[in-house]
Every structure is written in structure tokens, then in C-alpha cells.
Structure 1
Amino acid sequence: MTVRFKLKKSAALYGVYAAIATVAFAAAFTAATAASAVFSGAQQSAFDNLNKSRPLAALGSEQQCARYAGLPSRWREDPKAGMVHLHGGDFVFGSKLGYEDERPAGDGKTRIAGFWIDQTDVTNAQFAAFVKATGYVSDSERQGGAVVFHTPTRDEMNARELAWWTWVKGAAWNHPTGPGSTLEGRMNQPVTMVTQADALAYASWLGRDLPTEAEWEYAGKAGREGADLDTAPRDEHGKPSANYWQGVFPVLNTNEDGHVGLAPVGCYAANDFKLYDMIGNAWEWTKDVYSGPHQSHTNGDTAAVAPLSRRHDTPVVIKGGSFLCSRDYCVRYRAASREQQEADLPASHIGFRTVLRDAS
């Protein structure tokens, strides 16, 4: 059962958020733990022999991600640097336990061909190398800004809806909070404030592509099935195993996972396919147009704060949830979760990873 709170324009509500956060979150987690008792086991791993003798990212803990410079081993020497290979297979595409637009079609069984995929989100260091090599100018730089999250004050909550989103002039992938901000200390974090076109340009530079929604979910589920895929990710000790929001969104983040905002890539254990941060930290672009049932954005529609003169672009599927997903206002820290985002709207909670498909 999911505990939800409706955000209202009320200073009184803001004042009690902190008081109810612990109780509400504990109740929600208790329910989630009970639901996760059903587990159907793993299929034969798609992580195959093509990965033998290949260097894998030395990540999976706070210490390791903090030391990581943001560039994978043999970067620019190996065309598949930072990637692992997954052989093709069948999986259930979607979930019967999540939101309506996640429901599988038919029995949900979908066949995926083999492909290589980045172990981590593309980092600021990798995107900076691309920009340096090509002179590429991102959409956020051309548009003159991006949508940025901040924790709103009581007055902001009273003044307008979606008070946690702001269109910040001068914000871009390399100026993450606006003019004057830099990537110092953030080169190992996912690159964000990039559009789908930016992500495709980077992928093309490396001879790669963005994953389809089905490819992404196949990799995200990592051969697993069962109700535990639809619960808040926690390890065997009950500690969050991904970077998502603990507490009451958007005013109280209890920082139980050790991070407020974006974390470096690879701070948490990889999934069974050796992939990091498939859940949480940053949403990830896919190449698929969103065509499912319309429903409101999980953290509020970022387009609502973009300049009125800005043209609305095609909605595209993003996957995986972000550091903003919470039990009371998102619940999309799951492999089957899906959301729509305007293809040309850069935002501070969306990044990407790339794939290289096997020759057919």
C-alpha cells in the first residue's frame, strides 16, 4: 500500500510535514516489506561470456564512487569502454502492481535482442570530453536555461504550484545551478540538463544509440521477476540501495540514503547484470516516444515553469526514477516505471546511458 499526501497551498501543512514524515515513511515501508515477500527468483543471467576479461567498473560503495574520476577504463581506446554485454532474451515488459500505464500488454512477454549497455549513467566527465572533442553546444546553452529543482520555502509553497521547479536562466549541463556554478567536484555525477537530442548526439559520437524503453527495462530488471521489483529498493540490512527521496517530498529529505540531490555514479551495488543506478539518482532518456495513457508527472510537470514562448516538443519515455522519487509523491524508483518528458526540455533530474546493439 502506498501512503500519499496531497500537496496544498497551506503554510500549516508545511509546518507539519516534518512531524509526520517519520511515521508515514515507516508505515509505508512496513507495507512494502510485506509485499516484497513474494519473489519468483532469477532467470539465467544475460550477463554473458563476452564480458570475460573486460575491465568492469570498480564501483558499488560510497568510497569507490567518491574516488571515481568519471571516465571508464580504456576510455576512447576501447569502443565499448564502460559497457557490458547482455545476450537477448524474453522478459515481462511492464508491471501489474504499478501505475495504470505500466500494465503489460497481453502476458507481457517481450523478446529483446542482444546489446551492449553502459554500466553507469554518462557522467559529466564523459560529456565534457565529447564537448571538448566536437565543440558541441547543448540545448540548454542554446535555450538559455534549464529547469532546476530546489527545496521550496513555505512562502514559495503558498505562492505557486510546483514551487520546487524553477526555470533558471543560464543553467546548463556545465552550470548546474545557474551562472557562476561549475562542475568542480561533480565530474563523477550523471550529466543532467541534457535533452534527448543532446543524448543522441553524444551516443552518435561513440557510434552508439539510446536504448528503447524495452531494452532499458530488460537491463533494469536484470532477469528478476516478482513483487519486490515494485517496492522501495533496500538492501538486506534495510538501508536504501539507491538514491531516491526519503521523507516528505518536496520539503523534507531525511538523507537516509546518504545523498541529498544527485550522487556520483555507482555509489550503490550493481544489479545482477552489473549495471549501476538503474533505479534512482537520475531519470534516463530512451529513444521511444511516449504514447501511453496520459497521467500527471510524478514530481510535477517541468514544462509548467518553462518560458511561455517556448515550443512544446514530443513527449519521450524516461525510465528509472530519480533522487526526487519518494513514497508519498512519486513511487517510480522501479524498473517498470515510466514517465514522459518533453524531448527538448533540459532538467536537473534527467540523464542517460547508451547502448550498442548486436549486428542483426
Structure 2
Amino acid sequence: MPGKWNKPLTILGLLACIGLAAWTGAGAEAGVGAVATLPQSALGNASLCAAASGLPAGWGSDARAGMVRVPDGEFVFGSTRGYPDERPATAHKETVAAFWIDRTEVTNAQFGHFVRATGYVTQAEREGAAVVFHRPDEAELNARPYAWWRYVRGANWKHPGGPAMDGTVPAAPPPNQPVTMIARADALAYAQWLGRDLPTEAEWEYAAKGGRDDATLDDAPVDPAGRPTANFWQGPFPLADAAQDGHAGLAPVGCYAANGFGLFDTIGNAWEWTKDPYTGARQPHANGDTSAVAAAAAGPRRPDEATVIKGGSFLCSPSYCVRYRAAARESQEADLGASHIGFRTVLRVL
């Protein structure tokens, strides 16, 4: 951790914090289904990616398909080593009842089954646009604020990048990648279709910490040799991603080792919706505001409820965001999907 925190710059739901020093140390741990601390695994286990085809075993017949049971317990909710809005609310540990949670982020394949079964239309489809990450060149970066975000007509979960440059319909996103461009209401509708819910912030963080409470949870997700153990940005953001983690952009779910509770990709890849409103110490961000980008392109928007998202994304880097940690949190307008926000679901019937 840096000895001194720079004053963070915020974005509603998109990472910020330009100019922070690099974080080092261990990240997510191996051991599917284990509770004890287990050794680090190497980067990019191809067999895990191959196993995550987009639909979990038992899909369509098992109410808990793709889920893992997280035992009841207590944990430190937040961190004393992160941003002010991460500070533990009390000196006591938070108690969490047992629950089931998706092992991976919900995939395009899973969400597609929901849409075909119900005819559901997402917020981005109804509005006709969504916020898309764009890698600018230096000239564009210097010419306009938030140059890495565009409010793109026709962008939605089916076509996360929007229409092709020639106006043709682009190929569908890979079925085994996290579904993105999803507003909180979209995520909740999917969860309710399965008789599930979105996790509370406490449930999400408890599951993401994987039975650990040690200080290394606040370190960067890299192994002792410095190899990434999650999908995050390596290189100067937003100009170049060196993809040392094996992926420039979203990765298929399950490419990196599971944590102590058997969850994949709680750190990096895509931010994840919770059901909780964002309250507490507000981070005074001024960089990368997706709602500002949307308003500039489409006219003034009526802000929706600020909601907690967790886990960081493929855009988090040592110089932008540094929120690739279980305790990290961000505020996102509930009705505004983006290309780096997904979700997973929980089931509280044991």
C-alpha cells in the first residue's frame, strides 16, 4: 500500500484515482470449495476457462446451478488500509448468515436464456444507448474529458461495443464472458427469474474475501513473482493495456484461480452490482463520470439511486482506480449500465 493516499477522483460507477502508486502482493487464492487459506495458483489456468463454457452444469434443472454455499461466519467489513469510504463501520466484526452465491459472474449465455424465456428488454435497449469504454489516443485524451468513455447509440448487452463502424450488426459477445451493459433493475429481474436476489454489500464482500481477514487482501492481485492473478489493467491507463494477465478487456469467467470459498473473478474483470444503496463517506471523484458522459451525449438525465458496486474491473490499474480489492466500493447510478459492470446472484434458502 502507498504510505500516503492521494485525494481520490471519483466517477459514478467507473473507477478513478489517477496517480496512485502501484500496489503489490498476493491476490486471490486457489482451492475450489475450500475455506482455509491455500497457496496461490499461476496466472491464466486454461482448464478453468475451458470449463466455464457459459452455462454451468445443471443449468435448467438445478435451482442452484453454478452456485456455491458460503458458510455463516463473521468478518471485518471494510478495510482500514483503503479509501475513506471503506472504513469498517464498527470495531466489531460483521456477522453473515450462510447463503449460496454464483461461482462466477453471470454470463452472456445465462442472461440470453433469461431474455429468450421472458422477452425481457434491458434498460440500455429501452434507452437506445449505453456507456462504452473506448481506448483513446493521446490527442483525444488531451482534447476532451473522460476521453475513454463514449455514450454509444445501439450499445447493449447483445452488442456491448455498439454498431460496427460500417453500420453492420457486430458479432455477439462470447457466451462465456460476463454479461455487461446491465442496469441494476436488469440484474434484479434476472435474479428473480431464478428465485434469487442480488447480494448485499456485506454478503458480497464476505464471499469475496474467501474466509480471510489478513492484510494482504488489500494488496494488488499478483502472485509472489508479480504475475497477475486477476483480470485488471497493466500499463498506462487508458492508452495501453499490456495484458500480462492474458486478456486485454473482459476475460471469460473462471480463467483465474478460485478464492477460499470457491468463487471466481470477484476481483477484476467486471464490477458487480449489489442491492445496497451507496451511503457513508462519499468519495469526491471528478474523473471518468459515466453519468456526465451520458448527459453530455443525450441531454440531462434524472439521476437514479446511487448503488454500491464491488470488485473492480479490467480497467482498474495502479494508476487508475486501484479498487481491485474485496473491500473496495464504488457508487454507480442504478439505471446506467456500462461495459465494465456485471453481476452475480445469491440464494438465501439453504
Higher normalized contact order (CA 8 Å, seq sep 6+, divided by chain length) = 2
Task: State yes or no: 1:105 paired with 2:89.
Answer: yes
Q: CA deviation at 1:181?
A: 2.2
Q: What pairs up with 1:4-83 in 2 under 5 angstroms?
A: 28-29=22-23, 32-33=24-25, 45=35, 61-66=45-50, 68-83=52-67
Residue in structure 1 matching 2:338, options 329, 347, 352: 347
| Most deviating of 238-247 and 289-298 | 289-298
2:13 paired residue number: none
Closer/same/farther in 2, CA of residues 69 and 92 from structure 1, 3 Å limit = same
Q: Separation in 2 of the partners of 1:68 and 1:349? A: 19
Q: CA deviation at 1:299?
A: 6.5
1:183-203 deviations in Å (ceiling 9; x for gaps):
25x110000000000000000
1:16 paired residue number: none
Task: State yes or no: 1:170 paired with 2:164.
Answer: no
Does the CA-based 8 Å contact 2:304-2:333 persist in structure 1? yes
Does the CA-based 8 Å contact 1:299-1:325 persist in structure 2? no
| Most deviating of 240-249 and 304-313 | 304-313
Closer/same/farther in 2, CA of residues 46 and 313 from structure 1, 3 Å limit = farther
Closer/same/farther in 2, CA of residues 284 and 347 from structure 1, 3 Å limit = same
Q: Separation in 1 of the partners of 2:287 and 2:324? A: 12
Structure 1: 4+ residue segments shifted above 6 A: 3-6
Q: Separation in 1 of the partners of 2:147 and 2:247? A: 21
Task: State yes or no: 1:358 paired with 2:349.
Answer: yes
TM-score relative to the length of structure 2: 0.85
Q: Separation in 2 of the partners of 1:187 and 1:219? A: 25
2:31 paired residue number: none
Q: CA deviation at 1:159?
A: 1.6
1:190 paired residue number: 178
Residue in structure 2 matching 1:326, options 317, 326, 329: 317
Name the SS for the 1:248 alignment partner.
coil
1:239 paired residue number: 227
Closer/same/farther in 2, CA of residues 322 and 297 from structure 1, 3 Å limit = farther
| Most deviating of 243-252 and 191-200 | 243-252
Question: How large is the RMSD of aligned CA atoms in angstroms?
Answer: 2.4
Q: Separation in 1 of the partners of 2:287 and 2:328? A: 13
Which of these two proteins has the greater Rg computed from alpha carbons? 1
Residue in structure 1 matching 2:191, options 190, 193, 203: 203
Does the CA-based 8 Å contact 1:332-1:338 persist in structure 2? yes
Q: Separation in 1 of the partners of 2:87 and 2:136? A: 34
Q: Percent identity of the aligned residues?
A: 62
Residue in structure 2 matching 1:308, options 294, 299, 316: 299
1:130 paired residue number: 114
Q: Which runs of 5+ in 1 are unaligned?
A: 7-23, 38-43, 48-59
Q: CA deviation at 1:252?
A: 2.1
Greater helix share, 1 or 2? 1
TM-score relative to the length of structure 1: 0.83
What is the number of equivalent residue pairs in this alignment?
Answer: 318
Q: Separation in 2 of the partners of 1:338 and 1:5? A: 17
Residue in structure 1 matching 2:170, options 165, 181, 195: 181
Q: What pairs up with 1:255-266 in 2 under 5 angstroms?
A: 255-266=243-254
Name the SS for the 1:28 alignment partner.
coil
